[in-house]
Structure 1
């Protein structure tokens, strides 16, 4: 399944774009302008290309941790939109999405690096 990295990348692009538009337009209740749509598209493409490249280079552990971070980020974004739209809830929601996605990526890279170093050490012995 993870060999279809192009299809998975495109799926992640469309799903993240849909979730961002759904969150801002319908949950937060803000009107979308062209700059919002362009920013959402740029973020979605970066996330999709990053996920596809992780699968292309066979970094499966990083991909799964990245996907979990992305899921938690969207969950926190929606939670922030619902609980505090009048007090910087919109900004906190988008920032939590960025932060959890970045943390998922970095933690995934650390886990992959540790796993790689442990396997390299095993092969030397």
Structure 2
């Protein structure tokens, strides 16, 4: 349990700090929007939520779901950056954040499905060995 607790905090801080950094850099430098104190507070809250979700999934021993969720976040940030750089219609900030949330939700749902399939596989495979 001690190792799980150590990894819990490592995952929490890693995901939260990377999320904040990527959000800040993406909005300020790629999009070119000014960052206010209210924006920073929103970035911190969103980053803490992402960190909490990923670390709680790990703590509950849903490691497949945790990995796929973090992978969905990574793809979401890449898609958000692509949207920021590719479009100049005036809606790229909203479209980029929407793509981040979409990929985050896809990662969470796909992780849930894969975790359930893994559970069913282990339940069927080790049925007679109890």
Q: TM-score range by the shorter chain?
A: over 0.9
Larger radius of gyration: 2
Residue matched to 2:101: 98
Larger mean CA deviation between 85-94 and 68-77 belongs to 85-94
Aligned to 2:18: 15
**TM-score, scaled relative to structure 1:** 0.92
Q: 1:4-83 residue pairs with structure 2 within 5 A? A: 4-83=7-86
Normalised to the residue count of structure 2, the TM-score between the two structures is 0.89
- How many pairs align? 124
Q: Structure 2: any 5+ residue segments left out of the alignment? A: none
| Structure 1 runs (4+) greater than 6 angstroms displaced | none
Question: How large is the RMSD of aligned CA atoms in angstroms?
Answer: 1.4
Instruction: Specify every segment of 5 or more residues in structure 1 that has no aligned partner in the other structure, as ranges.
Output: none
* Partner residue of 2:120 out of 113, 117, 122: 117
Determine helix, strand or coil for the equivalent of 1:120. helix
How big is the shift at 1:122?
2.3
Q: Distance in 2 between matches of 1:87 and 1:26?
A: 16
8 Å contact kept, 1:28–1:85: no
1:124 to partner: Cα distance: 2.4
**Per-residue deviation, 1:116:** 0.5
| CA drift at 1:100 | 0.1
